[in-house]
Structure 1
Amino acid sequence: MTSELKKWAYGLTFMVLGSVVIIGTLLMINRLAKGPEAQELARQTSFQVERKPEPPPKRVVKRERPEPKRSRDINPPMVNLDTSLSGIDMGIPGVNAEDLGSLRDALLGDTQDVVMTDDSVDQPPRPTRQTPLPYPSSARKQGVEGYVVLSLLISAAGEIEKVQVLEASPAGLFEQTAIEGVQNWQFEPARYQGRNVRVWARQRIRFDLS
């Protein structure tokens, strides 16, 4: 019994010593691993964050706007425009209607040579004789209807002096018939300021099969 107890005590002692040796070896290895390189790495990676102090708030200075100077109300002197001209000789001779007519004829000449438009005269020309126009055979065969707008130069005697085509529909079908047909028309001349005048007048001619 005593020999077994001694064996057990020796075994326990060896186990404790072995554990101490192993732990010491591990501590030594750990210290060697944390040598100068590890310390240098720890020194390089260490940093400190510095907080910059916040700047003081800016003071806003309000500038007061100067009040605009009020202009003084100045009443300008009133000018009396109600001045009578009676009794003052202006040195202008009197002018009557006959003198104005003579002056107009001297400046414009004979109104029979002036060509006006039907909307600028006192009385536009009025047709007194209008012969019917023949229907073009080509248009009749095709069953086509249309119209022509002419500009007529009517003399101071009421006769046709010139004809111009302003518009035609359809084009190239009724124009010639319309121009030839109005050559024999007669008009009451246009009048301006009591005289017969030459005038351009618009005339629309319709061609219908009915």
Structure 2
Amino acid sequence: QDQADNGRLPVAYLNNPAPAYPREARRLGQQGTVRLRVLVTAEGRAADVQIAGSSGVTSLDEAALRAVRRWRFTPARHGGHASAAWVLIPVRFQLRD
């Protein structure tokens, strides 16, 4: 069922800072995407952050966890009221040439 059909609006990202690229990972040329499962509260905070898919690099995974725990969101809405919701957030670490 479409979210618009049942009065639900999804969680929205705000203008959150990108995670700091770990120095050692940068030096080693390590890149990857971490997929995080995040419980966003009705207040727009990350109440629980879990790794749904590792980048394969521990330092990148940890940097993503640290950053997203501090992020703020526009919470999901159901029937006009803010509500907690789980979302999947990809965090990409990519070195520029």
| Matching residue's letter, 1:147 | T
Change (3 A) 1:186 1:151: same
Deviation (angstroms), 1:169: 2.2
Q: 1:165 aligned to 2:62?
A: no
Which blocks of at least 5 consecutive residues in structure 2 are unaligned?
Answer: none
Bigger share in helix? 1
For the pair shown, the structure with the greater C-alpha radius of gyration is 1
Change (3 A) 1:121 1:205: farther
Q: Structure 1, residues 134-193: CA drift from partner, whole Å, max 9, x if none? A: 111121111111110000110001111110001012242311100001122111110112
Change (3 A) 1:167 1:125: same
| Matching residue's letter, 1:165 | I
Q: Relative CO higher for 1 or 2, CA cutoff 8 Å, sep ≥ 6?
A: 2
Q: 1:156 aligned to 2:60?
A: no
Q: Percent of pairs identical after alignment?
A: 29
Which blocks of at least 5 consecutive residues in structure 1 are unaligned?
Answer: 1-117
Q: Structure 1, residues 104-153: CA drift from partner, whole Å, max 9, x if none? A: xxxxxxxxxxxxxx9x9711110123112111112111111111000011
Deviation (angstroms), 1:200: 0.5
Backbone CA RMSD of aligned residues: 1.8
Contact 1:131 1:184 in 2 (8 A): no
Question: TM (normalized to structure 2)?
Answer: 0.86
Change (3 A) 1:185 1:121: farther
Measure the CA separation in 2 of the matches of 1:185 and 1:121.
25
1:130 pairs with one of 16, 33, 36: 16
Measure the CA separation in 1 of the matches of 2:70 and 2:63.
13
Q: How many residues align?
A: 92
| Matching residue's letter, 1:198 | A
| Matching residue's letter, 2:15 | R
Measure the CA separation in 2 of the matches of 1:144 and 1:186.
27
Contact 1:121 1:190 in 2 (8 A): no
Measure the CA separation in 2 of the matches of 1:121 and 1:138.
46
2:47 aligned counterpart, secondary structure: strand
Measure the CA separation in 2 of the matches of 1:183 and 1:173.
16
Change (3 A) 1:121 1:166: farther
Provide the residue aligned with 1:192 in structure 2: 78
Q: Which runs of at least 4 in structure 1 moved beyond 3 Å after TM superposition?
A: none
